[in-house]
Structures are given as structure tokens and as C-alpha cells.
């Protein structure tokens, strides 16, 4: 895969289909502990529909997202 002049890359069709990444989908790009660049599909709001039907499940989702955000913040601070 090569990058465009704007630094853009195309995710191969097989991977887009396998992971349900459609035009307009959102992805997260980050570096893991091994220094590899990771492209991670993000769930849409529609994917969350019904997921938080109980307060306990809604709290768990928020807790998971906050942990991801905290890890990202720590990585960014180390990179400065």
C-alpha cells in the first residue's frame, strides 16, 4: 500500500468487508505498545442502540471508553 500526497491510505477491500467498514465509517488510528500503527473500526451510534438498556451496562460502556481515553492520553504525554 502506498500513501497519497496528502498522506491518505486505502484500507483493502477484503479488510473493509471483513470488519464492516463502509464509506463514511469512522476508524481510530493509534500506535500500540510495539510501535505498530493500528486502524480500529469505531462503532456507530446505531451499533450502541439498545446496548445501554440497563444502567449497569451503560456504566460499563462509559467506563471502558474512559479507560481507552486515559490510555491514549498517557501515550500522548509520553510522546511529548
* Model confidence band, residue 13 (pLDDT cutoffs 50, 70, 90): very high
pLDDT value of position 50 = 58
The residue among 1 and 5 whose pLDDT is bigger is 5
Closest to 48 (Cα-Cα) out of 60, 39, 36, 38: 60
- 16-29 average pLDDT score: 88
- Largest Cα span, the chain: 47
Average model confidence (pLDDT) across the chain: 81
Amino acid at each position: 500500500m502506498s500513501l497519497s500526497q496528502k498522506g491518505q491510505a486505502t484500507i483493502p477491500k477484503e479488510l473493509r468487508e471483513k470488519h464492516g467498514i463502509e464509506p463514511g465509517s469512522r476508524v481510530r488510528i493509534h500506535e500500540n505498545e510495539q510501535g505498530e500503527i493500528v486502524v480500529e473500526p469505531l462503532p456507530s451510534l446505531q451499533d450502541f442502540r439498545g446496548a445501554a438498556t440497563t444502567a449497569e451496562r451503560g456504566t460499563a460502556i462509559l467506563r471502558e471508553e474512559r479507560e481507552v481515553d486515559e490510555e491514549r492520553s498517557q501515550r500522548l504525554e509520553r510522546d511529548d
